[in-house]
Structure 1
Amino acid sequence: MASDSITVRYFAGARAAAGVHEEPAPAGLCLDDLAAELSTRHGERLGAVLKAASFLVDGVACHDRRAALPGGVTVDVLPPFAGG
């Protein structure tokens, strides 16, 4: 993967809303800007999921939605899960 991009992987309802399992996105965006970019690509259904989703960056929970995402990382989009 090029260092000027990241990989976004979708799980569960996020995958259904995006219509893809994974896709590239530009590096250097923060999570808030990435969510806006992905909402523009895939529509408001995904946008609603992203507002409630958790994000893992290379397998680590990311709580700073304003930190820039460096090239080469993988961002997992995890919607809220229901059940017990």
Structure 2
Amino acid sequence: MLTVRYFAGARAAANGNSAESAEAATLAELTQLLTDRHGERLGLVLKAASFLVDGLSCHDRLAPLPHGATVDILPPFAGG
């Protein structure tokens, strides 16, 4: 089981949820599950988002996710 935390626009696209549980083996599987769960609006955010897995940036969407990991979803931010 994973803990998924949403930030900024990802939270809005996930119907205001700040966190939830999910079961997935990879980021690719997780993004599909979350898109199915919350709709295409979140799916579009996930395509551009950055992911932190247990606090470390993860760019490989096919890498295995550790059991019990926390996955932070960070959409692109405006400004600087």
TM-score (norm 2): 0.95
- Who is 2:12 aligned against? 16
Q: How many residues align?
A: 79
Structure 1: gaps (5+ residues): none
Q: Percent identity?
A: 68
- Match for residue 41 of structure 1? 37
One-letter identity of the residue aligned with 1:52: A
Mark the runs of 5 or more structure 2 residues left unpaired by the alignment.
Answer: none
Give, in whole Å, the separation in 2 of the partners of 1:82 and 1:44.
Answer: 21
Q: Distance in 2 between matches of 1:30 and 1:6?
A: 11
Distance, in Å, in 2 between the alignment partners of 1:72 and 1:32 is 17
Residue among 57, 63, 66 paired with 2:59: 63
Corresponding residue SS for 2:46? helix
SS in structure 2 at match of 1:69: coil
Instruction: Give the SS at the match of 1:37.
Output: helix
| Segment drifting more, 41-50 vs 65-74 | 65-74
TM-score w.r.t. length of structure 1: 0.90
